[in-house]
Amino acid sequence: MLACACGSVYDEGPARVCPSCGRAPTIVDGFPAWAPELARGGGGFEAGYFEGLSELEDASFWFRQRNRLIVDVLRAYFPGLESFLEVGCGTAYVLRGVATAFPSARLVGSEVFVDGLRVAQARVPSAELVQLDVRAMPYRDAFDVAGAFDVLEHVDDDAAALAGLRDAVRPGGGIVITVPQHPWLWSAADEYARHERRYTAAGLHTKVHAAGLEIVRSTSFVVLPLPLMAASRFAQRHRRDYDPTAELRIPRPVNAALERLLAAERAAIRRGVNAPVGGSRLVVARRR
């Protein structure tokens, strides 16, 4: 289902034309755009980051293990998943992992920036890709699961973003989110990434409940490397020559060691362990 600005809610068709007022999404660079005014500069991120990021993700312990954790969670809590929306899909690194795990599912990736969609299209050509603003979600009751992975911290109104994720899934459908955790870890990395905030577990849980969602699972991850992460972030506060890619270009032996630590965390999470502290937090919720 789609929701038009005129207030009509209607079945999604190939043209996505509202039967009440005749409106349809604008096409920007070949992609359906529901918020075209933001397509080339919607704030909360920098469009120029996408190309460089896509070159670093495959080798990074953090991106690799976060992807596997997301797929673990989808398989555990939504084994019958047939449709999935990723909000803020970026370069489609996560979407590619979901496509591999659920090859028959309908996958829709969304971004506020069309520059990101061009990179995503090359990585997952089978996915439907659309430009939208999660704060004005055009989908209604349309997906089994919606995900936003390290996205909410970029959105000024994260309450509206959570409401948008809720609206996109069917009643009883699932929401999976990851966010950076612990405000005391705030550093130049957050400023470079255009973060609005880092979260506490209690603060995030309050916002998730307020959006009409019931939390099924909540845990920290990036637990074992947290002391190293904290030391790195504290050091950044006193440097004027901050390198935003340094944490993604660490030596291979260190990268491999950190990947083994996160793999151990994933194994614990699969066994039901919920960690109270860690650089990131994962929340699984259902629409009431």
Q: Total domain count for the chain?
A: 1
* CATH of residue 138: 3.40.50.150
pLDDT of residue 42: 66
Q: Let me know if residue 19 belongs to a domain.
A: no
Q: Measure CA 7 to chain center.
A: 27
Q: For residues 54 and 39, give the distance between their C-alpha atoms in angstroms, rounded to a whole number.
A: 19
Q: Let me know if residue 17 belongs to a domain.
A: no
Q: Let me know if residue 282 belongs to a domain.
A: yes
- Residue 156 contacts by C-beta under 8 Å, 6 or more apart in sequence? 43, 44, 196
Averaged pLDDT of the chain = 91
Q: Let me know if residue 36 belongs to a domain.
A: yes
Encoded tokens for 170? 């069917």
| Low-confidence residues of the chain: pLDDT under 50 | none
Smallest CA-to-CA distance from 57 within 47, 67, 69 is with 67
Smallest CA-to-CA distance from 12 within 166, 128, 124, 163 is with 128
* DSSP string across 186-207: --HHHHHTT-S--B-HHHHHHH
Q: Let me know if residue 9 belongs to a domain.
A: no
Q: Let me know if residue 3 belongs to a domain.
A: no
- Residue given tokens 């919607």 in the structure block: 42
pLDDT tens figures, 238-255: 666 666 666 777 889 999
pLDDT of residue 209: 98
pLDDT of residue 192: 82
Q: Let me know if residue 16 belongs to a domain.
A: no
Domain that holds residue 213: 25-287
pLDDT tens figures, 139-175: 999 999 999 999 999 999 999 999 999 999 999 999 9
Q: Let me know if residue 12 belongs to a domain.
A: no
